[in-house]
Amino acid sequence: MFKKTASKTLLAGSLCLLLAGCFQTSLTGTTGATVVTVAPLRAPGNIIGEDVVTRTEEDWISILGEDTWASYARLVQLLFLGSSAAFDTAGIDPAGLYLLTATGGEDYFSQATAIDPGEPEPVQGSWHAIVSGERLIEGNLQISVLTEAVYRQAAGRLAQLSDTQIVEQLDAASRLLVMDIDGDDDVDYDDVVGWNPRVHGARYLGDIADTEALATAIRAGQPAGNLDTLAQGVLGSRRVVFTTNLGSITMETLNWETPVTVDNFLQYVESGFYSDVFYHRVINNFVIQAGLVEYVADSNSLFLKEDDEIGDPIRNESRWSISNSRGTVAMARTSDPNSASSQFYINQVNNDFLDFGSPDAPDGYTVFARVVSGLDVVDTIAAIPTFVLNPSFQSVPQTPAFIETASIED
């Protein structure tokens, strides 16, 4: 029985691969009779080609015959539902970015189980996916609740971001959402457009209830403001714990506001970069800063991190973030707004003069997390007397204050 079901699941996937430019649309799963349009990302009113309508259960019975259709396990049927006829990609620029919009239809997945087909639920709203022309030509796409969440995060930033930066943001957001879906040992936006909730639900990093809430709202045709709020829940947050020699500091990331910055920070955490990192800049009633200097306890020595340990600088996301208020965590940088890499600081007090658009720092400093426990540890570190080591290090704590380990909580 297992082998039969597995082979038919493979058949369902193979069918879509055979159709050039094939779409598989989904909310919590797969929908039928959904109208899918394709347009340039920055000109969504310029529809390319003819609309594509996804197939319903009745369509497949007509194509395959009732007996053949009935012989398929329900999961296999659900994988067939929503696949479309071929989309003509002749006018698609492989280097361009496109907006896919899926509107209406019936959601077969909302109430279905592996053995009970349930009743298809009408869809009153639309959901979207941003894809490259190259990926569109390749086909076999899932327009899902995850692509909707990532689209909503990007939609309000199109005027400020280039196409290259949009792709960068899509990839960063994807690493905050899912594990490797396509089996290439890397996580990027291809994994989000390949995500199917029935097949890959366990590879979503957040609470699946958040995806279901957004899907329910789309089916009900709720207004954009509600969808944005629910999409923020889908992007969620990650919890990072710094165990320091003076106590633990726990913070939650701001995935919706600053996906590129959070992704960069979490990569440093996962690599072990912040283990034994010294708080090299400590200013009471201002900030504590780390991410450049390593502390070796055995010899009570300080060493600068090697250049090859520090990644490339990232772009500034401060215009979309929250204020530098007490307990928030932000990226340190030079006078170049896009120079942040590994160094971060924790605001001990409200420092709104560091916010985007402020007279003192118009480009702003990107806040990417907030401390949820351990502010007393921040205060303890900030209160340590300091000394001038050299012109570059003028607020060095006289007694060691350092991160022993940094970890991401599941």
Averaged confidence pLDDT in the chain? 89
- CATH number of the domain that 397 lies in? 2.40.100.10
Q: Mark whether 245 and 195 lie in a shared domain.
A: no
- Mean pLDDT to the nearest integer, 276-290: 97
pLDDT of 17 strictly over 60: no
Query: In 115-258, which ranges are continuous DSSP H helix?
Result: 133-138, 145-155, 163-177, 189-193, 197-200, 208-219, 224-235
| Percent of the chain residues past pLDDT 90, beyond the cut | 70
Q: Mark whether 137 and 231 lie in a shared domain.
A: yes
Q: Mark whether 223 and 310 lie in a shared domain.
A: no
pLDDT of 388 strictly over 50: yes
Is 121 exposed, middle or buried (CB count within 10 Å of its CB: 0-12, 13-18, 19+)? buried
pLDDT at 113: 64
- Mean pLDDT to the nearest integer, 203-230: 94
Q: What is the pLDDT of residues 47-84, one digit of tens each?
A: 998 888 888 889 889 999 999 999 988 878 877 877 76
- 63 or 378, greater pLDDT: 378
Q: Mark whether 250 and 107 lie in a shared domain.
A: no
Domain boundary among the residues 187, 218, 235 is at 235
As for how many domains the chain has, the answer is 2
Contact 34, 54 (CB under 8 A): yes
Is 250 exposed, middle or buried (CB count within 10 Å of its CB: 0-12, 13-18, 19+)? middle
Domain boundary among the residues 185, 214, 235 is at 235
pLDDT at 392: 84
Phi, psi of 34 (to 5 degrees): -95, 135
Contact 279, 292 (CB under 8 A): no
Q: Mark whether 153 and 86 lie in a shared domain.
A: yes
For strands 23-25 and 141-143, give the pairing.
parallel
Q: Mark whether 350 and 205 lie in a shared domain.
A: no
pLDDT at 369: 98
Q: What is the pLDDT of residues 108-161, one digit of tens each?
A: 777 666 566 677 889 999 999 999 999 988 887 888 899 999 999 999 999 999
pLDDT of 4 strictly over 80: no
pLDDT at 20: 44
Q: Mark whether 357 and 272 lie in a shared domain.
A: yes
pLDDT of 13 strictly over 50: no
- Mean pLDDT to the nearest integer, 181-202: 90
Domain boundary among the residues 209, 235, 261 is at 235
Q: Mark whether 184 and 251 lie in a shared domain.
A: no
pLDDT at 30: 60
Domain, as residue range, for 72:
2-235
Q: What share of the chain is helix, strand, coil (3-state, %, to 5)?
A: 35, 25, 40
- Mean pLDDT to the nearest integer, 218-240: 97
pLDDT of 19 strictly over 60: no
pLDDT at 137: 87
The three-state DSSP-derived secondary structure of 303-342 is EECCHHHCCCCECCCHHHCCCCCCCEEEECCCCCCCCECC
Q: Mark whether 194 and 304 lie in a shared domain.
A: no
Q: Mark whether 227 and 277 lie in a shared domain.
A: no
- State the CB neighbour count (10 A cutoff) for residue 89: 17
pLDDT at 23: 62
